[in-house]
Amino acid sequence: MPVAAETMKLMLLAPMATFIMYYDVRYRRIPNVLVLMTLIGGLAINTSLAGFQGTISSVEGFALAFIPMLMIHLFGAMGAGDVKLFGAVGSVLGVAMVPLTFVVVVMLGAALAIYTMLRSGTVFSTLHGVLRIFVGILPGWEMPRFAIPSDRKHTIPYGVAIMVGSLLSAGIFVARAGGLFRV
């Protein structure tokens, strides 16, 4: 895709990221209207730039982003708003950019989780919960379900990791397409 296409995606994601991160940090909620606007914007950009193939890439990007996050949500480790948001971001970025973006988002999410764990002083209980998840994966063991903590300092605004990771990934693609560096 030409640089202009990736730049348009950045122009959609940047202002959306501002609002989404604000709401996620402040209220620990991601408004559905912002997710829907991102999804529709992604479909519109990809369709206008690449026609039917752009629509297909956008829908595939949504599915490829949505499904792994849904699996994480089913384990109780992520909110439904984060799942919908990453699906919408996948529709903006298209199927080709989702795997790199997923890796970047997971790394940023891990850094955010470590920061939150250290800040709230819950290192032991968090590591115990992680151990329970790994044991729950083993045959014959039950996967634990975790209650949502009432104190927000024990939760992670994962929408921040999703949006920053998406902006970084889109920026990398813009730089690569523009020949600024070769990966």
Banded model confidence at residue 110, pLDDT cuts 50, 70, 90: very high
Q: 39-97 pLDDT, tens per residue?
A: 999 999 999 999 999 999 999 999 999 999 998 888 777 889 999 999 999 999 999 99
**Single pTM value for the model:** 0.85
C-alpha–C-alpha distance, residues 50 and 72, integer Å: 32
Contact 92, 12 (CB under 8 A): yes
Q: Residue 182: its pLDDT value, please?
A: 44
Contact 6, 167 (CB under 8 A): no
Distance CA 142, CA 113 (A): 24
Residue 6, pLDDT above cutoff 90: no
Weakest-pLDDT range from 22-31, 69-78, 101-110: 69-78
123-148 mean pLDDT: 82
Per-domain residue ranges for the chain?
A: 3-177
DSSP string, 16-59: HHHHHHHHHHHHS---HHHHHHHHHHHHHHHHHHHHHHHHHHHH
Nearest to 31 by CA among 155, 159, 147, 151: 159
Between residues 76 and 108, which one has the greater pLDDT? 108
Structure tokens belonging to residue 107: 């790394």
Q: Which of 164, 163, 171, 7 is nearest to 88 (CA)?
A: 163
In the block, residue with structure tokens 């970025």: 93
pLDDT band at 178 (very low <50, low <70, confident <90, very high): low
